[in-house]
Amino acid sequence: MPAQYKTPEVYKEEINKFSPSVTQLEKVIPTFTRYNGKAWCKGKDDDKINYKNQQKITSLLISSDANTCNALEDMLKYHCPYITITGKVNCKDMAKAWIDTKSLDLVFFGIDDEQKIYLQVLREISNISFEIIFITEKKYLDITALQYNVFGYLHSPIQETQLLNIIKHVQQKIILQKENIKNETSIRPQKDVIGIPTLEGYEFLPIEQIICCEGMQKCTKLITASCSNIISSYNIGEFVKLLLPFGFFSPHKSFLINLSKIKKYYKEGSLIMNNGHQIPISRRRKESFLSNIKKDNKFPIIIQG
């Protein structure tokens, strides 16, 4: 049995001192989960990864410990060349700015007990669209850290076998998520009629009549071709899930647009819809927006300087 693995019985004794149950902890810490039928065993070929045709994964390293950050970077470059490290940051403001401006699949957070940079950053992010892996020197995770949808954690100093194990699993999840998004964005006809929940009941209209949606705290304003606005009790997130398959796109966390209703696109980061409504495009979603436009080039747009 490798030295860095312990039997489930040993972990149960240790984790009993910590509030989450073993089952709960297994969900967020893949290192503890059963592997090939046993909690501490690894298969002979588990570390043999075929790097050819690997889907690219963009990542960010956040840690106040430069040695840990550099060691992780070296191991990722050597063992996982398909993972692109977009940057290494060591303070809250830099981390927040990086996450807001980059499209990331995976973020490694170094858990530091003094500054708690990782918690400060996570609290300020409204929409966590990437997978999270914590790095810690402690045996136990801070209970506050477990409130976030964490994929798992690495114990420092990081062992190569531990790193490859968790990367293998997080890669599978990221690929599956990207495939799901790709399938969801296959455009379906907008002739369908949608029932929109309002405070009074439901209002029905063809999807092609919707120009854009604007999030307003816990409700959403729908702007339609008939010049009448509908206030729905659904939040903007519900409409994103509902309308993405019909040729809609979210250029900003507070907006959802009908791609067939775009009149102009300004390179500095905004859109004009065919009713004159102006919509912002966040920097981290600009690239995705342009790729959608190129893919569906039946939508005419005028590029303004």
116-123 own/partner pairs: CB under 8 Å, 24+ apart:
117/62, 117/64, 117/90, 117/91, 117/92, 118/62, 118/145, 119/144, 119/145, 120/92, 121/62, 121/92, 121/95, 121/96, 122/148
Mean per-residue pLDDT, 59-76: 89
Q: Is the model's pLDDT at 251 over the cut of 70?
A: yes
pLDDT in tens, 263-294: 999 988 899 999 999 999 998 888 888 887 77
Residue 255 has pLDDT above 90, yes or no: yes
**Predicted structure pTM score:** 0.48
pLDDT of the residue at 164: 92
Per-residue pLDDT for 301 more than 90? no
The predicted model gives 215-240 an average pLDDT of 88
pLDDT, position 16: 46
8-184 and 193-304, same CATH topology: no
How many Å apart are CA 103 and CA 127, to the nearest integer?
Answer: 12
Whose structure tokens read 């190129």? Answer: 294
- In this prediction, residue 8 carries a pLDDT of 45
pLDDT of 212 reads 95
Q: Does domain 193-304 have CATH number 2.40.50.1020?
A: yes
Q: Is the pLDDT of residue 303 over 50?
A: no
Paired with 197 in beta bridges are 202
| Confidence at 106, pLDDT banded by 50, 70, 90 | very high
Cis peptide before 300 (omega within 30 of 0): no
Domain residue extents for the chain? 8-184, 193-304
Counting residues of the chain whose pLDDT is more than 70, the rounded percentage is 68
**Measured between alpha carbons, how far is 90 from 127 in angstroms, rounded to an integer?**
21
Q: Which residue has the tokens 């954690």?
A: 153
Higher-confidence residue of 148 and 70: namely 70
The CATH architecture that domain 8-184 belongs to is: 3-Layer(aba) Sandwich (3.40)
pLDDT score of 244 more than 60? yes
Least confident interval from 30-34, 66-70, 165-169: 30-34
The pLDDT-based confidence of 113 (bands split at 50, 70, 90) is: low
57 and 174 Cβ atoms separated by less than 8 Å: yes
Of the CA atoms within 13 Å of residue 305, those in its CB half-sphere come to 0
User: pLDDT value at position 111?
Assistant: 79
Which two three-digit tokens encode residue 228?
A: 């009448």
- For residue 42, what pLDDT band results from cuts at 50, 70 and 90? very low
Residue 188 is predicted with a pLDDT of: 63
Mean pLDDT over the full length of the chain: 76
Alpha carbon distance 255, 280 (integer Å): 8
Q: How confident is the model at residue 19 (pLDDT cuts 50, 70, 90)?
A: very low
